[in-house]
Amino acid sequence: MQTLRGADIVARPLEALGVTRIFTLSGNHIMPVFDALLETGIALVHTRHEAACVHMADAWGRLTGEVGVALVTGGQGHTNGAATLITALAAESPVLLLSGHAGLSELGRGAFQELAQADIARPMTKAAWTAGSVAALGPDLARAFRIAREGRPGPVHLSLPVDLLETAVPAASVRIPDRAEAAIRIAEPAPDLVADLLAALAGAERPLIACGPALCDTSGRAALAALEETIGLPVVGMESPRGINDPALGAFAEILARTDLLVLLGKPLDFTLRFGAAPALAPDCRFALVDPDPALLARAPADRLVVSGLADPRPVLAALTLRATAHPRREAWHREARAALAYRPPAWADRRGNEGRLHPVELCRAVAAFLDDHPDGTLICDGGEIGQWPQALVRAGRRLINGVSGTIGASIPFALAAVLERPGAPVVAILGDGTFGFHMAEFDTAVRYGIPLIAVVGNDARWNAEHQIQLRSYGPDRARHCDLLPTRYDAVVQALGGFGALVTEAAALPAALEAAQASGLPACINVMIESVPAPMLRRGG
């Protein structure tokens, strides 16, 4: 009689559900799954740290819209990976974290690495649970895939007890779920909701539409641009922890303060909008909210809420675009808003660093020129202060940032996943030296798998975001303990088998970028920069 192990009943549904790649780090509890995956067409990317697995799965989910899958072992392997779920949750990224788990038959008896794993992951996920039987493994996976993508996308966790993975059952008793069982229900907007939104927009003098992180992918930004072109009003995507001071949005704070109707499509009213309070928004600014999560609709002040409805934001965007052709345009307001969003200080054009160090503007100028020559390239921004400069200055065909959580350290794993998702196109990650230390060992992963990312490290030999807080809050005499060494990170990458270059003059950076691309190797360009605060874009000040 043919039998299947529980591990096979994990591997086969993953393949049936469309998974082509899993980001993983081996460990005792998941070795049966490693073995079972050999009978599938799923590729493994074996990393050096569990947190990197989840960051890679996060990037995969954001770039493809598919569920990014990370597979780690139990105990501290799980806690290492689960810690990064907060980044995916804030970015609304569809991720599935599969963790090995102590055997069910040994729980409560001091099992190896026994831990309440689902309880740990639950606050950072849409759902988290532990598989309870071999028969439930396939349905559990289909359910996890559906939850990760349905409504507001986000991470899901499933723990896999090792005794279930090792148990063999008759093959005839097993049903492998297909994609139909993981299909999501799309919450289409009611016709009167779209009509009410258009009426509210028509009655406002200075309306603005803001969309959340899930709509900041390539297709989402195209949809935002299409609506703006049709309706003649400002439409923005918000995905930065800097919120109204997101450097990618120029002088956004200025126009937000003048807005008389703020339409939020899948965008939570939270700290990034200063909770809707004055002076970030006018005291009489009205709100219109559309969201798949009813709890988020309740955040708006009831006395200023003019439209509210449950729906997924993408079909709302499409419906508004389709029905807005006769909508009254606010040309002067639209021009004013666009000018504010495009604002960059004129003084930046001539910004230069001191001898031996570049100003971040010079670094960004070279990367922008490089990506202009490679329009299929991807830009990744990470780090406290340095990561804000490329968001303000560098345009790329697609972009990933750390996201609303504000957590740093994801850029190298993000870059690995981005190269794998679009082979042959350059991926440039701009990050700080503090950030580089989180996952520098993943250059070993990049070398082993031949993944030619380009990391441009802005090296000012300090944790600069915190240093700037010290300067602002406590004064220069109390700016202590945030210094780092001016380490040769390029030499570290060379020692791991990659390409490395040290840059201390702006004129050398374009050639270093081209050499890194031509090398075909994972590359680190270590750029010595001045330690300056992130840009704060306010006109006239």
User: The domain spanning residue 446 has which CATH number?
Assistant: 3.40.50.970
Same domain, 203 and 308: yes
Q: What pLDDT is stored for residue 389 in this prediction?
A: 94
Give me 116's structure tokens: 């309440």
The pTM for the full model equals: 0.96
- Give 529's DSSP letter: B
Sign of CA dihedral 340, 272, 147, 128: positive
Same domain, 337 and 352: no
Q: What pLDDT is stored for residue 384 in this prediction?
A: 85
What distance in Å separates the CA atoms of residue 390 and residue 383, rounded to the nearest whole number? Answer: 11
- Chain-centroid distance of CA 220 in Å reads 14
Same domain, 85 and 148: yes
- Give 304's DSSP letter: G
E-assigned strand segments in 95-154: 95-101, 127-130
Residue 539 lies in a domain: no
Q: What pLDDT is stored for residue 106 in this prediction?
A: 87
CATH number of the domain residue 329 falls in: 3.40.50.1220
Residue 535 lies in a domain: no
Instruction: Give the structural domain span for 500.
Output: 346-528
Same domain, 523 and 494: yes
Same domain, 353 and 329: no
Q: At what angle do helices 313-323 and 218-231 cross, to 10 degrees?
A: 30
Q: What pLDDT is stored for residue 1 in this prediction?
A: 67
Type of residue at 493: V
Say if residues 57 and 68 touch (Cβ distance below 8 Å).
yes
Same domain, 168 and 200: no
- Residue where a domain stops, chosen among 148, 182, 216: 182
Residue 538 lies in a domain: no
Residue 477 lies in a domain: yes
Question: Which residues contact residue 193 at a Cβ distance below 8 angstroms, ignoring those fewer than 6 apart?
Answer: 290, 307, 309, 311, 316
What distance in Å separates the CA atoms of residue 56 and residue 46, rounded to the nearest whole number? Answer: 11
Give me 429's structure tokens: 């990650």
Q: What is the signed CA dihedral for 465, 469, 471, 473, rounded to 10 degrees?
A: 180
- Residue where a domain stops, chosen among 323, 342, 361: 342
Same domain, 410 and 467: yes
- Chain-centroid distance of CA 231 in Å reads 28
Same domain, 338 and 380: no
What distance in Å separates the CA atoms of residue 6 and residue 167, rounded to the nearest whole number? Answer: 6
Residue 522 lies in a domain: yes
Counted domains in the chain: 3
Q: What pLDDT is stored for residue 94 in this prediction?
A: 98
ω into 279 cis (within 30 of 0):
yes
Same domain, 352 and 486: yes
Same domain, 267 and 360: no
Same domain, 336 and 350: no
Residue 224 lies in a domain: yes
Reduced to 3 states (helix: H, G, I; strand: E, B; else coil), residue 37 is helix
What distance in Å separates the CA atoms of residue 498 and residue 505, rounded to the nearest whole number? Answer: 22
Q: What pLDDT is stored for residue 503 in this prediction?
A: 98
Residue 533 lies in a domain: no
What distance in Å separates the CA atoms of residue 145 and residue 233, rounded to the nearest whole number? Answer: 36
Same domain, 36 and 105: yes
Residue 502 lies in a domain: yes
Q: How many other CB atoms are there within 10 angstroms of residue 409's CB atom?
A: 23
- Give 359's DSSP letter: -
- Residue where a domain stops, chosen among 155, 182, 209: 182
pLDDT along the chain (541 residues), means of 10: 90 96 97 96 98 98 96 97 97 98 89 90 98 95 97 97 94 88 92 95 96 94 95 96 94 96 97 96 96 92 94 96 83 95 89 90 97 96 92 93 93 98 96 96 98 97 92 93 95 98 97 98 97 80 51
Q: What pLDDT is stored for residue 540 in this prediction?
A: 59
